[in-house]
Amino acid sequence: MDAGAATTTSGVIELPSGLKLTVDRPAEQSAPVIVLLAAMGTPAKYYDRFVHGLTRRGHPVVRVRWRDEDRDFPLNNPNYGYADLAEVDAPAAINWTREQFGENPVVVGHSLGGQIASISAAGAGPLAGIAVIASGTNYWRGSGLRWALGVGAVSVIAPLIVRIFGYWPGGRLGFGGRQTANVIRDWARLGRTGRFEPEHAKTDLEGSLKEYDGPLLSLTIAGDVYVSRGATESLLTKLTSARIERERWKPDEHAHRGHFGWTRAENRPAEIIHEWATRVVNNR
């Protein structure tokens, strides 16, 4: 279809659990439905240009609003962590999408969203595929001495900071936005051990990574100072049964580089996801 032909309707729905989804529908669906999982501390609306690029290509897109997005944080927000996102929220959004659209969705996760997409896959039912963008683990041994010193130090200090404040004051610290103590404790534990072993998990999320045997696209972005190539590989090596494809984008414009800059580019990131998703769904 003509990438500029479709118009889009958008709306917000709330699941019985209270989880909110932003649903963007093209006038005519001609491509697989996508569930989009955001990065840590990143609101769903931040991805407007990327989503517009997808809907122009015929993809309905269901954006998950993480629990802290629409609440008076941290006063009225439960202290959820990785286990809640991976075992409750992501599967709920995926199941709703499957029921509403009558097909298995492609799950696209950015940064933290890519981690959650990967560790929730085994418990979320069949998926058409997973795409992780600028995503990996924050394991301190991920990629060289500079990475080890930086990530290692934050992984040690972060639990102390949340103990003092009762939450993660990311706005003051310039990283991650405001987060619950458990999200940061789980993130820091991954950084220290290299394993997904969040508090209160009911399933073996680390072990479940080996169970996903579907298509997986890893898209890395030039200029990403938060997720190195080594960090990405430390996630991909856990997905031993997945059919992995790797792509790296080097934007011509500096504004489109880096961990978040790619979201400002409407066309190429959406085109990469569209071409891959359409191909793997048609060839299944």
- Over 50: is that where the pLDDT of 1 sits? no
Stretch among 103-112, 128-137, 151-160 having the lowest mean pLDDT = 151-160
* Spatial distance between the Cα atoms of 94 and 272, rounded to a whole number of angstroms: 22
Which domain covers residue 48, as residue numbers?
8-137+203-282
Stretch 128-148: mean pLDDT, rounded?
88
Is 266 within a domain?
yes
Residue 75 pLDDT grade (very low, low, confident, very high; cuts 50, 70, 90): low
Three-class SS string for the chain?
CCCCCCCEEEEEEECCCCCEEEEEEECCCCCCCEEEECCCCCCHHHHHHHHHHHHCCCCCEEEEECCCCCCCCCCCCCCCCHHHHHHHHHHHHHHHHHHHHCCCCEEEEECHHHHHHHHHHHHCCCCCEEEEECCCCCCCCCCHHHHHHHHHHHHHHHHHHHHHHCEEEHHHHCCCCEEEHHHHHHHHHHHHHCCCCCCCCCCCHHHHCCCCCCEEEEEEECCCCCCCHHHHHHHHCCCCCCEEEEEEECCCCHHHCHHHHHHHCCCHHHHHHHHHHHHHHHCC
**pTM value?**
0.93
Is 231 within a domain?
yes
Q: Say if CB 127 and CB 217 are below 8 A apart.
A: no
Stretch 188-205: mean pLDDT, rounded?
95
Give bridge partners of residue 36 from the DSSP assignment. Answer: 63, 108
**Domain containing 231 — which CATH number?**
3.40.50.1820
Is 157 within a domain?
no
Number of domains observed in the structure of the chain: 1
* Spatial distance between the Cα atoms of 162 and 107, rounded to a whole number of angstroms: 30
Q: Quick one: tokens of 174?
A: 């310039």
Is 103 within a domain?
yes
Is 63 within a domain?
yes
Q: Say if CB 74 and CB 166 are below 8 A apart.
A: yes
Percentage of residues in the chain having pLDDT higher than 70 = 95
For residue 171, what pLDDT is reported? 81
What pLDDT, in 10s, does the model give residues 52-66?
999 999 999 999 998
Is 13 within a domain?
yes
Is 168 within a domain?
no
Is 178 within a domain?
no
- Over 70: is that where the pLDDT of 17 sits? yes
